[in-house]
Amino acid sequence: MDNIRLSSCDIQTMEKRQKVQLINSLPGFKSANLIGTTDKDGNENLAIVSSVIHLGSSPALLGFILRPDTVERHTYTNIQQTEQYTINAVSEEFYQRAHQTSARYPKEVSEFNETGLTPFYDNHFDAPFVLESPIKIGLRLVEIIPIRSNGTHMIIGEIERVILPKYALRKDGYINIESLDLMTLSGLDNYHVTQSVGRLSYAKPEKPIVPLDIDGNTFFIKE
Amino acid sequence: MDNIRLSSCDIQTMEKRQKVQLINSLPGFKSANLIGTTDKDGNENLAIVSSVIHLGSSPALLGFILRPDTVERHTYTNIQQTEQYTINAVSEEFYQRAHQTSARYPKEVSEFNETGLTPFYDNHFDAPFVLESPIKIGLRLVEIIPIRSNGTHMIIGEIERVILPKYALRKDGYINIESLDLMTLSGLDNYHVTQSVGRLSYAKPEKPIVPLDIDGNTFFIKE
């Protein structure tokens, strides 16, 4: 296998769009989620992000990165104003419409209207969910962390509600996201469906890993 | 489709392991990467993480989350001491060995030895890469950001070198990570291979998205 080695100098001197593609490809597969917000007057905004990560379960916290100097500035301002937002998983059914939300629309334009996605309001929660999304998460802003190294921000929210199809939630708490046709993203623009090769048991020293079924059970019970 | 709605109270009162599975499933598909470090005496450590994200391309920055109170504390201490680490993509060939690194080994034990993965040292870089990994990234620590909400830390590094197979790097800078059999992870323990449904063009208002080939070109050239 013929390898290529890129130094920091090689990377710094790459053509800008090439560099953006390269560095965006390096983390590996990413989640695809739509962030739903409104400004203080109720004007809706919807933006695709690929940086949502798990931060902790108690309290239940998710984080994601925003670049306030780009198309994401409306999302950033809205979250600052209202302190509420939604995270909506992108599935195969509407991933092209989700990708379209990354276009640079003026502030007064709703990405819901432009892409044909449907805003959905759940009881007593002000931010819009995406009706088409199989996993809808409502969050309350907890912390905005400025990242000095490059002027981006990490938005941290606590999960206030989750709406998802009953059949996808397994007994042990795992959500079978593959059964919901969730997409994964690589680089800036490549979308993929997935095929599970199986769950694995909790790793312990001196104990071999065993495969688990989708409910987290071992296949064979030893006496 | 029968939906289930979980309130923040439902989540808070869930059995602990169930809650951990649920919240870890909510962000969607994640990357699977191994972090390679040594302590100041050169003792090696290797830990799987699912939180590596792209932060920016100029400078080329990647971030990930560490929980210093868990098995990840050796990685955390080593990065603080040496300010160097590697990120190595997990592929189908060795994902079970990668998962095994999450076991709680004593500090003096090298996860390389325990899992049969091979440390690889590249010229003038002190942290070990994983020889079996198709994408090897060497980073220099830039910033450790404490996340007050739950005591975790975000580790930010600048990319100093990248080693990858030549054929996977496309002309426009995109890395065809699917051709390298990279895995994606859901929840805590479900590993998946992928199938691309295609790259999409850069989104612009009033312009329909078009599919692109793996090199980022449109399929038909209009005159």
pLDDT, position B24:
98
CA distance B30 to A139: 20
Closest CA relative to residue B167, chosen from B177, B155, B154, B158: B177
Interface test with B, best of A23, A94, A163 (most B CBs within 10 A): A23
CA distance A55 to B50: 11
Confidence bin at B223 (pLDDT 50/70/90): very low
Whether A200 and B184 lie within 8 Å, measured CB to CB: no
Write out pLDDT tens, residues B67-80: 877 767 899 999 99
Whether B33 and A33 lie within 8 Å, measured CB to CB: no
Confidence bin at A177 (pLDDT 50/70/90): very high
- Which residues are registered as beta bridge partners of B88? B34, B136
Whether B198 and A190 lie within 8 Å, measured CB to CB: yes
pLDDT, position A162:
98
User: Quick check: A5 pLDDT over 80?
Assistant: yes
Interface test with A, best of B19, B70, B186, B195 (most A CBs within 10 A): B186
Interface test with A, best of B55, B176, B181 (most A CBs within 10 A): B55
pLDDT, position B66:
95
Residue A43, class by beta-carbon neighbours within 10 Å (0-12 exposed, 13-18 middle, 19+ buried)? middle
B181 touches chain A (CB under 8 A): no
Confidence bin at A68 (pLDDT 50/70/90): confident
Between the ranges A49-53, A216-220, B66-70, where is the mean pLDDT highest? A49-53
pLDDT, position B222:
55
Tokens of A76: 């950033």
| Closest by Cβ to B186, choosing from A12, A147, A178 | A178
pLDDT, position B71:
67
Tell me, rounded to whole angstroms, the distance of Cα B102 from its chain centroid: 14
- Which residues are registered as beta bridge partners of B22? none
Confidence bin at A223 (pLDDT 50/70/90): very low
| Closest by Cβ to B193, choosing from A101, A162, A194 | A194
pLDDT, position A1:
67
| Closest by Cβ to A166, choosing from B4, B174, B183 | B4
DSSP assignment letter at B59: T
CB B76 within 8 A of CB B66: yes
**3-class state of residue A9 by DSSP:** helix
CB A165 within 8 A of CB B68: no
- Average pLDDT on A68-73 reads 73
- Average pLDDT on B10-34 reads 97
Which residues of chain B does A52 touch, with a Cβ-Cβ cutoff of 8 Å? 27-28
| Closest by Cβ to B28, choosing from A25, A182, A198 | A182
What single-letter amino acid sits at B121? Y
Confidence bin at B45 (pLDDT 50/70/90): very high
Q: What is the largest CA-CA distance in chain B?
A: 65
User: Quick check: A222 pLDDT over 60?
Assistant: no
B9 touches chain A (CB under 8 A): no
User: Quick check: A83 pLDDT over 70?
Assistant: yes
A-B contacts (CB, under 8 Å): 398
Tokens of B1: 């489709």
- Long-range pairs of B198-204 with CB within 8 A, sequence gap ≥ 24: B198/A190, B198/A191, B199/A187, B199/A189, B199/A190, B199/A191, B199/B174, B200/A96, B200/A99, B200/A189, B200/A190, B200/A191, B201/A189, B202/A189, B203/A99, B203/A100, B203/A101, B203/A102, B203/A103, B204/A103, B204/A104
pLDDT, position A67:
86
Write out pLDDT tens, residues B191-221: 999 999 999 999 999 889 999 999 999 876 5
CB B182 within 8 A of CB B91: yes
CB B63 within 8 A of CB A149: no
Interface test with B, best of A149, A161, A185, A202 (most B CBs within 10 A): A149
pLDDT, position B25:
98
B50 touches chain A (CB under 8 A): yes
Q: Which residue matches tokens 């009033």?
A: B206
Whether B103 and A195 lie within 8 Å, measured CB to CB: no
CA distance A198 to B184: 12
Closest CA relative to residue B33, chosen from B145, B221, B180, B214: B180
Confidence bin at A219 (pLDDT 50/70/90): confident
A84 touches chain B (CB under 8 A): no
